[in-house]
Amino acid sequence: MKQNYKELLNHVTTFVFDVDGVMTDGSVTLVPGQQPYRTFHSKDGYALQLAMRKNYRIAIITGGRSEAVKERFNALGVNDIWMGSSDKKDAMDELFMMYDLKREEVLYMGDDIPDYEALQMAGVACTPSDGAPEVKAICDYVSQKPGGKGCVRDIIEQTLKVQDNWMKEGDHTW
């Protein structure tokens, strides 16, 4: 029997997210001569910043190479960013070594086959509601929210609530 995912959230210190299909809805608008256009959810951004203020580690691992995406996360205060990651397992190995992390401390949210091995490395594997069936099959938690529509906020909020770290004094300020 699979362990209740909420019990797993008790140990999380580090959130790792894919970008396309998790932070965004996976759509990419192409305009000749410009970088691809993506849309991010502001509630996800707030949750990321709140988690960092509460000393959780945030990392981004993406196969994409968009400077605009990197700028978005740098503006939020995220420093651990792997761009152009063709093998997300390697990026996860590097993250684990950098911070001497234990498996149970790491939550990974991905939505598609390139995330499969990274999801298996995490203590808590999560996916948006519109994640690939193969990914859903190995995840501890499938958000009710689709990619780019608040799934990141969903899992951060749940983790902080389980750890009694949600809606504390100062949480309402930006």
pLDDT at 113 over 80: yes
Note the pLDDT of residue 66.
86
Q: Distance of CA 40 to CAs 43, 44, 110, Å?
A: 9, 8, 15
- Per-residue pLDDT tens digits for 27-73: 888 888 877 778 888 999 999 999 999 999 999 999 998 888 899 99
CATH number, span 5-25+37-162? 3.40.50.1000
Indicate the pTM of the whole model. 0.94
Confidence at 170, pLDDT banded by 50, 70, 90: confident
Q: Please report how many Cα atoms fall inside a 13 Å half-sphere around the Cα of residue 104, on the Cβ side.
A: 8
Phi, then psi, of 87 in degrees rounded to 5:
-130, 100
Q: Return mean pLDDT, the chain.
A: 93
The residues with which 124 forms a beta bridge, in sequence order, are: 107
Read off the DSSP letter of residue 115: G
Q: What angle is formed at CA 173 by the lines to CA 171 and CA 174, rounded to 5 degrees?
A: 110
Kindly state the average pLDDT of the residues 86-111.
97
Q: Where are the domains of the chain?
A: 5-25+37-162
Q: How far is CA 28 from the centre of its chain?
A: 19
Given this model, what pLDDT does residue 1 score?
A: 46
Average pLDDT score over residue span 103-117: 98
Is the pLDDT higher at 7 or at 66?
7
pLDDT digits (tens, 9 = 90+) for 118-138: 999 999 999 999 999 999 999
CA 135, distance to chain mean position in Å, is: 14
The reported pLDDT for the residue numbered 168 is 78
Instruction: Please name which of 16, 7, 5 lies closest in space to residue 95, comparing C-alpha atoms.
Output: 16
Q: Give CA–CA dist 4/30, Å, rounded.
A: 41
Helical axes 67-76 vs 42-53, angle rounded to 10°: 50
pLDDT bucket at 174, cuts 50 / 70 / 90: low
Residue 41 DSSP symbol: -
Q: What is the pLDDT of residue 36?
A: 77
Mean pLDDT, residues 138-166:
97
